[in-house]
Amino acid sequence: MQPFKANCLPLLIGSLPIDNHSQAMELILTHTPEIPLWPQLPAYKEEGMVPQFLPGMPGIDECDDTVFINGKGEKFDAEFLSFYEEYLMITEGGGSLEGSRFALTTETAKGFFDFLEHTAGVKEGLAALKAQTTGPFTFATGVVDQDNRAIFYNDQLRDAAIKLLALKAKWQIVKMKEICPRTIMIFDEPALAGFGSSAFITISADDVKECFAEVFEAVQSEGALAGVHVCANTEWSILFDAGADLVSFDAYSYFDKLILYPAQLRAFFNKGGILASGIIPTTPEFIDEVDGASLTGKWLEQARELENIGIPMEQILQQTLITPSCGTGSINFDYAGRVMALTREVSTTIREKFSLS
């Protein structure tokens, strides 16, 4: 397969503020028909970032409406052994992901199945398909054990969580490849905005990179692009050093932070990395202030800054996607519609200006 040319195509993040998956897919295909993605609808509590990918973990328990991993429960040892037996059967024994604990289901991911159905009917016009999975850092710092301690700090549980997410991502890629050979998997990592703060003071950059190594390998082994989305500032060197194929970030508010890594940005582009430029704001007060022309101008200024650190404009254009800064699941429907329309408009304007096919 030829290297993927992003060519400033529009791409969305994932969450939408509606409660109808088919309607969500229609909106996605209207605004981003070249690279559609599956919708996650926070209107359903089971489609939250942690609940959607939690099924399959050993030791899931609940008390007072709080879900946690009970590592001291009577059934934990048996469940933990069963988890690793199934994992090894798939990764080393040639077992199938289909029907395993690592496959998504309609109970928590109806949007994925609607996505497969809709895109199968438009496969001839697809440049790629994009899916998303909660990232290992966000997941393992968001899920707690019986003592209300994040499972990231338990080596055993953290390893299980990483393996769970790696194979859930791999399963999605396998299903998408039946429709389109070019696939993209983005690991959503909002918690990385807190990396280095007092909340995560004992977690090192190497700890985070080790988490990414396994989930990236699972995706890349299927010939897919592995990316990370962070909707605020973080220590960007971690993502570059971890080997991400795609970095998705809030370019509207945090480009000035990303550009502080010129050597790593050059190396990233030179190895074919894709920058998903979240130039379309998703905060209501910012949405009210902008239009397509102002956002296009802002993106062009940022492209010139990338040129100034030694990245040729042709390379920038071929290796950039135009996206919202974050998902739209937490804003109202009118704002979400405007964000999607602006994403399409800015992409179209840039592509026409530079004659991108």
Separation of first and last alpha carbons in the chain? 18
In whole numbers, what is the pLDDT of the chain averaged over residues? 96
**pLDDT, tens digit, for every residue of 320-349?**
999 999 999 999 999 999 999 999 999 999
pLDDT band per the 50, 70, 90 thresholds, residue 201 = confident
Is-contact 122 134, C-beta < 8 A? Answer: no
- Is residue 3 over pLDDT 80? yes
Residue 24 scores a pLDDT above 80: yes
pLDDT single digits (tens) 40-54: 999 999 999 999 999
In our burial notation (b when 16+ CB lie closer than 10 A, e otherwise), range 18-40 reads beebeebbebbbebbbebbbbbb
- Indicate the pTM of the whole model: 0.97
How would you classify the pairing of strands 183-188 and 225-230? Answer: parallel
Q: What percent of the chain has pLDDT over 90?
A: 96
* Complete domains list, the chain, with CATH: 21-52+103-353 (3.20.20.210)
**Tokens coding 51:** 């609940």
